[in-house]
Structures are given as structure tokens and as C-alpha cells.
Amino acid sequence: MAQKLHLVFGGELVDPSKSVFKDVNDIHIVGMFPNYATAYQAWKAEAQRTVDNAHMRYYIAHIHRLRDEEKESSATVKLD
């Protein structure tokens, strides 16, 4: 079975209605998780920890969707 990795990250946004980080260098990488359930737990903990700051947002990125293991060459394999 293929691993379905998930990345949890977040930081302060310029505007709470948009997904633009105030400072990309200050993005908080929470970690990489082997499944959605554990990634969700980590996301929820960080979201609750920063609930008092309306500009803070955390996200779950589905890393496993960046590569299609069934294809001979994935779009992420060759960078030009």
C-alpha cells in the first residue's frame, strides 16, 4: 500500500480572508504525518493554540497527491 503523506504548516497571513503569508520565512512547519487522521490532530492542536490570533492559519497539504506513482514520469520528477 502506498504511503499517503501529509504536511501540516501555517503562519500569519497578511489578510485573514486570503491565503497569503505575511512572511514566508516565518512559516511554521508542524511536521509530516503518515495519514490524514494524525495530520488532522496536529492541525487541530495548532489551530486551537493560535485561536486568539485571527491572522494565523494552519493547513494540511496532501503531499501524496504531488506524485502519481502509477505514471512512468510524474510532473514533479523533472524540473526545468
pLDDT in tens, 28-79: 999 999 999 999 999 999 999 999 999 999 999 999 888 666 665 555 554 4
**Rounded-to-integer distance, Cα 34 and Cα 54, Å:** 29
Q: Which residue has the cell 500569519?
A: 12
Whether the pLDDT of residue 80 is over 50: the answer is no
Q: What are phi and psi of 49, to 5 degrees?
A: -65, -30
User: Do the beta carbons of residue 50 and residue 26 sit within 8 Å?
Assistant: no
pLDDT band at residue 3 under the 50/70/90 scheme: confident
Using CA atoms, how far apart are residues 76 and 62, in angstroms rounded to an integer?
14
For the chain, the residue count is 80
Model-level pTM greater than 0.95? no
For the chain, the domains span: 6-66
For the 6-66 domain, the top CATH level (class) is alpha beta
